A and B are shown apart, each in its own frame.
Chain A
Amino acid sequence: EIVMTQSPATLSVSPGERATLSCRASQTVGNSVAWYQQKPGQAPRVLIYGASTRATGIPARFSGSGSGTEFTLTISSLQSEDSALYYCQQYNKWPPYTFGQGTKLEIK
Chain B
Amino acid sequence: ELQLLESGGGLVKPGGSLRLSCAASHFTFENYVVSWVRQSPGTGLEWLGSISGSAISTYYADSLKGRFSISRDNSKNIFFLQMNNLRVEDSAIYYCATEHWDLRGAYFDNWGQGTLVTVSS
Contacts and interface: CB of A to CB of B under 8 A. Distances in A.
B118 to A, nearest CB: 17
A20 interface: no
Given A32-B105, A43-B111, A87 B61 contact: no
What class of interface size applies to chain B in its complex with A? 20 to 34
Interface stretch (B44-52, B65-73, B82-90): B44-52
B44 A87 contact: yes
Given A30-B103, A44-B108, A92-B105, A99 B44 contact: yes
B11 to A, nearest CB: 20
Chain B interface mostly:
strand
Interface string A75-108: 0000000000001011111111111111000000
Interface residues of A, number: 29
Interface of A: 1, 30-32, 34, 36, 42-46, 49-50, 55, 87, 89-102
A10 to B, nearest CB: 14
Interface string B54-98: 000001111000000000000000000000000000000001010
